[in-house]
């Protein structure tokens, strides 16, 4: 007689092993546990709820089709999933701007991603630095903040920012320069140990 599996009691690693055996219920439990953080991360990067949902679903599709890519010796599943979601969202932004590899209609969105292997400590450090910069951005005047965010978060060129905002290129360059100077001043007082 086959023993009934209590999915909710299984660890992430055990559920991934069940996935490798084709158990779709394990995927449902993992999705319930970990989909929200991946979606939230993708939403912060993409700023589009539908697109963020698509990235989140693609992450779990990748886990379903290639569970062997997750190596539990390299860290927790949640961190791996967040790393894959981050890479997919950034790749999606690059693709939308036309600077990423060409997408053919038949390939899966995450097929070209390398296996994420980011050290969890490095990932946490990057997150803290990013949060500190985001907090400093709120101190900038709105026009400077918009110009800086469009260049550094959306990846637009200064010319594209001028077109996007309807401002002259010289004005955009000045706003970016002033904004970066104010950010530098705001961040100079923060010691590395404060993070």
Average pLDDT per block of 10 residues along the chain, 195 residues long: 72 91 88 89 85 89 90 89 88 61 42 50 65 80 89 83 92 92 77 42
Q: What are the CA-CA distances from residue 5 to residues 8, 10, 21, 72, 97 (Å)?
A: 9, 8, 13, 21, 46
- Does the pTM of the predicted model rise above 0.75? no
CATH number for the domain formed by residue range(s) 119-195: 1.10.10.10
Distance CA 30, CA 16 (A): 8
The CATH T-level fold of domain 1-116 is Rna Polymerase Sigma Factor; Chain: A (1.10.1740)
Give the residue extent of every domain in the chain. 1-116, 119-195
């Amino acid at each position: 007689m086959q023993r009934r599996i209590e999915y909710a009691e299984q660890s992430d690693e055990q559920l991934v092993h069940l996935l490798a055996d084709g158990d779709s219920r394990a995927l449902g439990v993992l999705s319930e546990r970990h989909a929200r953080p991946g979606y939230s991360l993708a939403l912060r990067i993409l700023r589009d709820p539908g697109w963020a949902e698509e990235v989140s679903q693609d992450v779990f599709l990748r886990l379903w089709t290639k569970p062997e890519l997750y190596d539990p010796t390299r860290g927790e599943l949640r961190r791996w999933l967040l790393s894959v979601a981050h890479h997919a969202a950034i790749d999606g932004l690059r693709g939308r701007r036309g600077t990423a590899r060409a997408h053919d209609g038949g390939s899966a969105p995450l097929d070209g991603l390398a296996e994420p292997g980011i050290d969890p400590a490095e990932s946490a450090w990057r997150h803290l630095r990013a949060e500190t910069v985001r907090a400093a951005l709120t101190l900038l005047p709105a026009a400077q903040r918009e110009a800086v965010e469009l260049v550094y978060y959306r990846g637009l060129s200064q010319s594209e920012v001028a077109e996007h905002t309807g401002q002259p290129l010289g004005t955009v360059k000045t706003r970016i320069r002033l904004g970066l100077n104010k950010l530098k001043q705001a961040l100079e007082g923060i010691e590395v140990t404060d993070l």
